[in-house]
A and B are shown apart, each in its own frame.
Chain A
Amino acid sequence: MSSLLGLKKDDRRTILAKKIQLETNHGMLDLLFILILLASFAISALIIVMIGARVYQNVTVEMQSNFDLRIPLSYISTKVKQHDAKGAVQLMTKEGIEVLVLTSLENQTSYETWIYAYHNQLYEVMVKKGEQVAIADGMAILPLQGLDLKMDSNKLLQVTSYNKAGKKLDLFLNIRSD
C-alpha cells in the first residue's frame, strides 16, 4: 500500500480495482475447482453403483436361469430313482399332454404319480391306479417354461427343460430295473 502513496489518486484507484478483480477471479477459480471435484466424485460414485447393480442383476439372472433349468430335472431324477422298479416308469399321453407315470405299491394298493408340464408349471398328482383324474386337478410344484419327455428304447428316459431365455438342458436317466 505504501508503494501506492507516490502515485496519483486516479492511478491508485485503477491499481486497487485491478487487485480486487484479480482476487475475485482467484476465488471464482477455487470455487470452480471444488465444484468440478465434487461433480467428478458424484459421477464416479454413480458409475460404481451402476456397475454393482449390473453385476448383481447378472448374477441373479444367471442363478434364476440355472434354477429354472436344473431344479425340475433334479426333481424328476429323484422321483424316477425313487420309483425305479420293473415296469414302474412309463410315459403316457393324457389329455394331449405327455405325462411321466410312476407306479408304486403301498399297503397292497397300486398308486400312480403323474408328473407333467401344464400352464408353465411342473405339476404332480398321485392317484389310485385306474382312477380318472383331470390334468388340471394336479398340484403345481415349480415354475417351468417347457418340458419334453422321451423314452429311448424303453431304458433311457430323456428329460429336457426350458427356461424363459429359451435355454434348454437335457438329462438322460437310466431306468435300471427294466
Chain B
Amino acid sequence: MKNKSATKANIFILELTIIILIFALTSAISISLFAKAHQVGQKASETNYAMMKIQSLAETMKSKENLLELKELLANEQTTLYFDEEWASITDRAKASYVIETSGSSEKTVAGTLATVKYLARKNLTDSTLLYQLQVQKYFPQQGGKSK
C-alpha cells in the first residue's frame, strides 16, 4: 500500500517535471520571438526615418537649377552625413548613430549634363546593414554638354 502511494507521488513529480521542461522550451522560443519582434519594429522605424531623410535630400538635390550648385556633391567621391539616434543632423562622427552616404557623378551628353546622386542610409559606420537607398537623376539641358 505504502509502495503504491510512493510510486504515485513519483509519477506525479515526473509528470510535473516534464511539463516544466516543455514550458521552459516554449518560453525560450517565445522570448526569442519577442526579441525578433522588437528588432523588426525597430528596423521598420529606422527605415521610415531613413526614407524620409533621403527623400528630403533627393528633393533638395532636384530643386537645384544650376549644375554649379551641385558641383561639390558631384565632385566628391563620397560625402557622409551624420545623424544622432533621434535623426538630428550632427557633425561629430564618433557620436553618429546613423549615417547617410552620398556619392555623385555627372555624365555629359550632347544636349547637356545628366547628374546622378546615390544616397545610402546605414545604421552606423561600423554596421554595414543597409536601411534604405535611392538613386536620383536630374538632367541639366544646355549646361556643360559635350561639343559635337
Contact = CB atoms under 8 A, between A and B. Distances in A.
Given A48-B31, A51-B34, A172 B16 contact: no
Given A37-B16, A170-B52, A48 B59 contact: no
B49 to A, nearest CB: 7
B130 interface: no
B76 to A, nearest CB: 21
Contacts of B20: 37, 40-41
A62 B37 contact: no
A169 B41 contact: no
A13 interface: no
A44 B38 CA distance: 21
Contacts, number: 79
Nearest to B20: A41
B63 A41 contact: no
Contacts of B56: 170-172
Interface string A39-79: 01100110010011001101100110110011001000000
A174 interface: yes
B27 A156 contact: no
Contacts of A48: 27, 30-31
A59 B60 contact: no
A174 B52 contact: no
Question: Which secondary structure dominates chain B's binding surface?
Answer: helix
A69 B34 CA distance: 25
Contact of A41 (B12, B23, B38, B55): B23
B86 interface: yes
A51 B60 contact: no
B135 interface: no
B9 interface: yes
A34 interface: yes
A173 interface: yes
A34 B12 contact: yes
Contacts of A52: 30, 34
Interface in B3-29: 9, 12-13, 16-17, 19-20, 23-24, 27
A108 B60 CA distance: 33
A62 B41 contact: yes
B45 A55 contact: no
A167 B45 contact: no
